[in-house]
């Protein structure tokens, strides 16, 4: 969800790519945070693609799907816990 927010709404991934390109052209870094957002976004998309490709591969055993769904549920619960503690009140 946050990747799509950074990609389509706030455009931080695009700003980070432009900042990275400018740092290559000019030799100094002006905006480090958007560059880290871009790096993190690319990493997340790689993880999502790898997870989905492993889940639909022919080697996946039918009995292991509950582990996949359970892991996804735990990850979402952990994310909700992090947001609930860091959300400003």
pLDDT tens track for 15-42: 888 888 888 888 888 878 888 888 888 8
Of residues 63 and 85, more confidently modeled? 85
Is the pLDDT at 5 greater than 60? The verdict is: no
Mean pLDDT of the chain: 79
Going by pLDDT thresholds of 50, 70 and 90, the confidence category of residue 3 is: low
Structure tokens at 41: 């976004």
Name the burial class of residue 38, with classes exposed (0-12), middle (13-18) and buried (19+) by CB atoms within 10 angstroms of its CB: buried
Q: So where are the chain's domains?
A: 2-86
The CA dihedral of 86, 51, 7, 17, to the nearest 10 degrees, is 100
For the chain, the residue count is: 89
From residue 32, give the alpha-carbon distance in Å to each of 39, 64, 76.
11, 41, 28
pLDDT, average across residues 37-61: 81
- What is this structure's pTM? 0.59
């Amino acid at each position: 969800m946050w990747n799509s927010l950074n990609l389509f709404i706030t455009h931080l991934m695009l700003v980070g790519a432009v900042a990275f390109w400018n740092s290559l052209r000019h030799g100094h870094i002006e905006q480090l945070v958007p560059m880290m957002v871009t790096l993190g976004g690319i990493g997340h998309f790689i993880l999502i693609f790898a997870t989905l490709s492993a889940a639909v591969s022919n080697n996946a055993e039918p009995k292991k799907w509950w582990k996949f769904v359970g892991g996804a549920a735990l990850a979402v619960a952990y994310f909700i816990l992090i947001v609930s503690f860091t959300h400003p009140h």
